[in-house]
């Protein structure tokens, strides 16, 4: 499968614990995005990377959230001291900018439940 | 980034053609129009993208009038498996995730296809 993959697919944790999610983009894609989606809402942008550089962060991304993309390949999203409000689907997408066109391809998501 | 307005829900029957219209009155010259499909507990799936006139692929057609203030996603002969949420997005692809704007999803249109 050459699509975007995310691990784990599901995560249950207790409030106050740290969690880390991984995203493996499509191999030749230079851009990688993280989104959060809650029930009944569309995905909300969190942050994105171009290669290894993190170029934009949403104000939704509190100090408890950190993302990395070492060597411009896979990316990790860490949430520290999780809160119940962090429960959501975390989506990763990747894209390859080609001229004026860019299409983001999404992974299956990681569903987080904070108890 | 141009805001979009879509119907919250639509109902259809198998074999019918479904047209979902999206309004984007403030679309900018550099903005493209993109549609995604999302099934429950999955990431959004890219359907089609265009700038003006008509675009067709193996899945759908996208109609964009000359003023580009709206667009219509056309799904020919829907089946039960087309039941999903459909999102219309408008933005400058070159600046997706950048300081000029991010990929902004609304609540989408929930399409229900009945037998």
Mean pLDDT of chain A: 92
Test mutation, A5, A33, A43, A57, chain B, max B CBs within 10 A: A43
- Comparing alpha-carbon positions, the chain A residue that sits nearest to B100 is A56
Q: With an 8 Å Cβ cutoff, are A100 and B105 in contact? A: no
Q: Is the pLDDT at B83 greater than 90, yes or no?
A: yes
Q: With an 8 Å Cβ cutoff, are B41 and A4 in contact? A: no
Instruction: Give me the pLDDT at residue B29, please.
Output: 85
Q: How far is A30 from chain B (nearest CA, A)?
A: 13
**B5, β-bridge pairs:** B23
Instruction: Give me the pLDDT at residue A101, please.
Output: 67
Higher pLDDT, A41 or B102: A41
DSSP 8-state class, residue A28: T
- E strands, B5-115, where? 9-13, 18-23, 32-38, 45-50, 53-56, 61-64, 70-75, 84-91, 109-114
- Residue A42 tokens read as 């569309």
Residue carrying the six token digits 């993309």: A69
Q: Is the pLDDT at A82 greater than 50, yes or no?
A: yes
Q: How far is B101 from chain A (nearest CA, A)?
A: 10
Taking the C-alpha atoms of residue A30 and residue A72, their distance in angstroms, rounded to an integer, is 7
Q: Is the pLDDT at A99 greater than 70, yes or no?
A: no
Q: Is the pLDDT at B12 greater than 60, yes or no?
A: yes
Mean pLDDT of chain B: 88
Helix (H, G, I), strand (E, B) or coil at A111: strand
Q: With an 8 Å Cβ cutoff, are A42 and B107 in contact? A: yes
- Comparing alpha-carbon positions, the chain A residue that sits nearest to B42 is A108
pLDDT band at A103 (very low <50, low <70, confident <90, very high): confident
Distances A110 to A12, A87, A107 between C-alpha atoms, Å? 10, 10, 9
Taking the C-alpha atoms of residue B115 and residue B103, their distance in angstroms, rounded to an integer, is 34
**Which of B98, B103, B107 is facing A55, going by the closest CB pair?**
B98
Among the residue ranges A40-44, A81-85, A106-110, B104-108, the one predicted with the least confidence is B104-108
**B37, β-bridge pairs:** B45, B86
Taking the C-alpha atoms of residue A30 and residue A94, their distance in angstroms, rounded to an integer, is 7
Instruction: Give me the pLDDT at residue A59, please.
Output: 82
- Residue A63 tokens read as 């100090």
Task: Dump pLDDT digits (tens) for A37-78.
Answer: 999 899 988 998 989 999 888 887 889 999 999 988 999 999
Residues 6+ apart with CB under 8 A from A111: A9, A10, A11, A88, A89, A90, B41
pLDDT band at B93 (very low <50, low <70, confident <90, very high): low
Instruction: Give me the pLDDT at residue B18, please.
Output: 98
Task: Dump pLDDT digits (tens) for B34-46.
Answer: 999 999 989 999 9
Test mutation, B42, B44, B101, chain A, max A CBs within 10 A: B44
Q: With an 8 Å Cβ cutoff, are B97 and A89 in contact? A: no
Instruction: Give me the pLDDT at residue B102, please.
Output: 55
DSSP 8-state class, residue A72: G
Q: With an 8 Å Cβ cutoff, are A42 and B105 in contact? A: yes
Q: Integer distance in angstroms from the first to the last C-alpha of chain B?
A: 38
Instruction: Give me the pLDDT at residue A94, please.
Output: 93
Q: How many CB pairs under 8 A join A and B?
A: 70
Task: Dump pLDDT digits (tens) for B56-71.
Answer: 999 999 999 999 999 9
Helix (H, G, I), strand (E, B) or coil at A27: coil
Among candidates A24, A50, A93, A10, which has minimal Cα distance to B44?
Answer: A93
Average pLDDT over residues B1-28: 91
Taking the C-alpha atoms of residue A85 and residue B106, their distance in angstroms, rounded to an integer, is 20
């Amino acid at each position: 499968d050459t699509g975007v993959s995310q691990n784990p697919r599901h995560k249950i944790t207790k409030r106050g614990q740290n969690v880390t999610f991984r995203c493996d983009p499509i191999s030749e894609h230079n851009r990688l995005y993280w989104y959060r989606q809650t029930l009944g809402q569309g995905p909300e942008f969190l942050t994105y990377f171009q290669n290894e550089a993190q170029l934009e962060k949403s104000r939704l991304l509190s100090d408890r959230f950190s993302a990395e993309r070492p060597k411009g390949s896979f990316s990790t999203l860490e949430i520290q001291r999780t809160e119940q409000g962090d429960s959501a689907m975390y989506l990763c997408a990747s894209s390859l900018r080609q001229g004026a066109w860019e299409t983001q391809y999404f992974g299956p998501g990681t569903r987080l439940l904070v108890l | 980034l141009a805001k979009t307005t879509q119907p919250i829900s639509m109902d259809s029957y198998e074999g019918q053609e479904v047209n979902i219209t999206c309004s984007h009155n403030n679309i900018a010259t550099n903005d493209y129009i993109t549609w995604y499909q999302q099934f429950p507990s999955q990431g959004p799936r890219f359907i089609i993208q265009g700038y003006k006139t008509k675009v067709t692929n193996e899945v759908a057609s996208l109609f964009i009038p000359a003023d580009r203030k709206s667009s219509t996603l056309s799904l020919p002969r829907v089946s039960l498996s087309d039941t999903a949420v459909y999102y219309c997005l408008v933005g400058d692809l070159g600046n997706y995730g950048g300081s000029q704007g991010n990929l902004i999803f609304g609540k989408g249109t929930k399409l229900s296809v009945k037998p």
